[in-house]
Copies of this chain bind each other. A is one copy, B any other.
């Protein structure tokens, strides 16, 4: 209950001096500062953020908006952001926009206008032009992860390049029958991933002179169950079966591996599988993947937002560049087997 006044009285100074000593703003003699700190400590003083925020306009609180927290990618981003924010002494207010679309639109603009936030990190969020304009009007730092908010600094991996890289990896192993399972519509609405990852795939194919086979391109939600389903459909028909599949997420890729096993196909002998993410399950299944470290992205967004609040130019790496990824080769990809599919046994000659 001890307020700034009690501390002031105890230390024999004014409330103004206590405020300056504690916040570090303004000049205070070392001796005075020491006395104030001691008094504050002794009285167990804890500042009221509300009062402080009201008076100063700063809140030491940043908002994180995401369409889900239950799904892997988002939970990792949140974990990274929460840790980084805590370390910097900031609170994190979470806005989960998953529910009704009605909620969604109001959330973002209202949250900032309520003046409880110094900045916001928007994850995989797509806004209408109007929403974007409202957001801008508030004039607080905004950093985006994964989603495309035109004009705001963004943390994101180079979707196109990593998709091309994953596909090239398959090509370079000698595969020519390369399928792709992208994200479903659900994802495309929030993210823009589906599209970009697919174009990286198509690019690498064209580059290698491999014709695109529409029947080898399908989609799935970002889940193991979705991957199993899509994988079964893709791999069930032997004469058109691909020898490799590039999946837009590790969860899908794990599903495809499971689907292959279920069909009696060996990975990687009969079919190579590569994903994107760096999901923990990948290790269990020996999945070759491109890791994108979502927790690190969350931490990077925090760093960017903090820099913006200090009016520092955001690090060029963040502004123009891409968040780094890591190519992890495990055992789910290999040169295609020269033997025909197991259900068409080679003649014994």
Contact = CB atoms under 8 A, between A and B. Distances in A.
Interface of A: 46-51, 53-54, 59, 61, 68-71, 74-76, 78-79, 82-83, 86-87, 91-96, 98-99, 103, 107, 110-111, 113-116, 223-225, 228, 255, 258, 261, 280-281, 283-284, 295
B113 A46 contact: yes
Given A47-B114, A225-B280, 17 more contacts: A49-B114, A50-B53, A50-B116, A61-B116, A82-B95, A82-B96, A83-B99, A86-B95, A86-B96, A87-B99, A91-B93, A91-B116, A93-B93, A93-B94, A94-B94, A223-B280, A261-B261
Kindly report how many copies of this chain are found in the complex they form together: 2
Contact of A83 (B91, B96, B228): B96
A56 to B, nearest CB: 10
Which of A50, A82, A103 has the most chain B CB atoms inside 10 A of its CB?
A: A50
A228 B280 CA distance: 13
Given A49-B114, A82-B69, A92 B91 contact: no
A114 B60 CA distance: 12
Nearest to A283: B225
16 contacts: A46-B113, A46-B114, A49-B116, A50-B50, A50-B54, A50-B115, A69-B75, A69-B82, A70-B76, A70-B295, A78-B78, A82-B94, A86-B95, A94-B94, A223-B280, A258-B284
Contact of A75 (B75, B92, B223): B75
Nearest to A64: B94
Contacts of A280: 223-225
Which of A47, A68, A82, A223 has the most chain B CB atoms inside 10 A of its CB?
A: A82
B54 A110 contact: no
A263 to B, nearest CB: 14
A111 B61 CA distance: 12
Contacts of A47: 114
A294 to B, nearest CB: 9
